[in-house]
Amino acid sequence: MIDLSEKLWHNVARKIVKAGTLPFPLTETLMDLLKILITEEQAKFINLFRKTSMNLNELKERTDLDEESIIKMLTELLDKGIITGARSRRTGIMVYYLLPPFPGLFEMSLIRGETGEKEKKLAKIYDRIFGEIGLVTQREYDFVFEEFKKFPPLDRVVPVEEEIEPSVEVVLPLEELTSIVENHEVFSLAKCYCRHQKDLLGRPCSISDERYNCVQFGKTAQHLIDYNFAKEITKEEALEILHKAEDDGYVHKAVHAQLNIEKGLEGFCNCCKCCCGVFELYYRNVGPIYSRAYYISNLNEELCVACGTCTKFCPTEAIKCENSIAEIDEERCIGCGLCAHHCPEKAIKLIRTGPRDVYIPTSNDN
């Protein structure tokens, strides 16, 4: 006989996985995660969601709870980062959305930067979940990577603005850091949840000690500010933080809703291959690097001295220094511009290619 409590947690896990785009196995580890994040009462409330987003009136129809109790429960879940809310552009009605495991619960449960026993336990569980997904990927390798190709790229790379050649005639606003920032009015700054998780696991970032450089815009920023997940900053501070990230060696990833670059822009992550959750999917043989890029690195062989600086900063390992010269694998280059930005000889420059999707499947260990 199935334990009713376990059936509840299984149903809630299934609903939360369904809220995202990335495949997540319904494992005991995922249910252990949910049991840390929410109470059984909150799990029962989440189980009311017959779809991944519902408004207050829709929830009322599915429960005997009065409106005050429903709003109280929604507020608790918003504060915990289990759901998020936004007003419908069409109707103006507040809609509440379940967050998937990743991106979603992972970020929101660690973004405040707390370091208690709960957070240390969460960091280990997330690490275990990624490992479990990797086992599924390797077991069903061919199927998984054909499925990934059916989705849009997971992220969009915005290059180091300083490295865009002035002679480029067409630079679209969505490709240019300053233009993106100038197009928004509300900004927030949060702790990097990826690097925070690695700190909790005792595996700190190899790039720098900076932890606060995740920048959000607009409605997303306001939500994070309202619920104390991030602090408000000015437009000038946002640009300063983003330019420092370039100097430190982090890749600008434009964050879109649900890891879908066709959806609304929410902010910038500044990523490294040793901590970033998306890069980690690749380097742990869980999933591909799948990015929308607009530029590609080009080497001036006469200036290159094969010092290896570019290989240190390249997040996709697209550059090797062999035969006394750097060699760039264009199929792996995401056009971030870090190699050009940090090259002491100025031997690399960015060339605009227009939108192109870079798909790098992870290794098959089988």
Q: Is the pTM of this model over 0.85?
A: yes
pLDDT tens track for 298-329:
999 999 999 999 999 999 999 999 888 999 99
Which structure tokens are listed for 180? Answer: 């993106």
Q: Which domains does the chain have, with CATH numbers?
A: 4-142 (1.10.10.10), 143-360 (3.30.70.20)
pLDDT tens track for 184-195:
999 999 999 999
CB 271 within 8 A of CB 215: no
341-365 average pLDDT score: 92
Pairwise pLDDT comparison (62 vs 146), residue with the higher score: 62
Which of 112, 191, 157, 96 is closest to 352 using CA atoms? 157
278-294 average pLDDT score: 91
Mean model confidence pLDDT for the chain:
91
**pLDDT classification of 152: cutoffs 50, 70, 90:** confident
Q: Is the pLDDT of residue 287 over 50?
A: yes
Percent of the chain with pLDDT over 70: 96
DSSP class per residue in 16-31: HHHTSSS-----HHHH
Q: Give the Cβ contact number of residue 85 at 10 Å.
A: 18
DSSP class per residue in 66-101: -HHHHHHHHHHHHHHTSEEEEE-TTT--EEEEE--I
**pLDDT classification of 1: cutoffs 50, 70, 90:** very low
- Maximum C-alpha span of the chain: 75
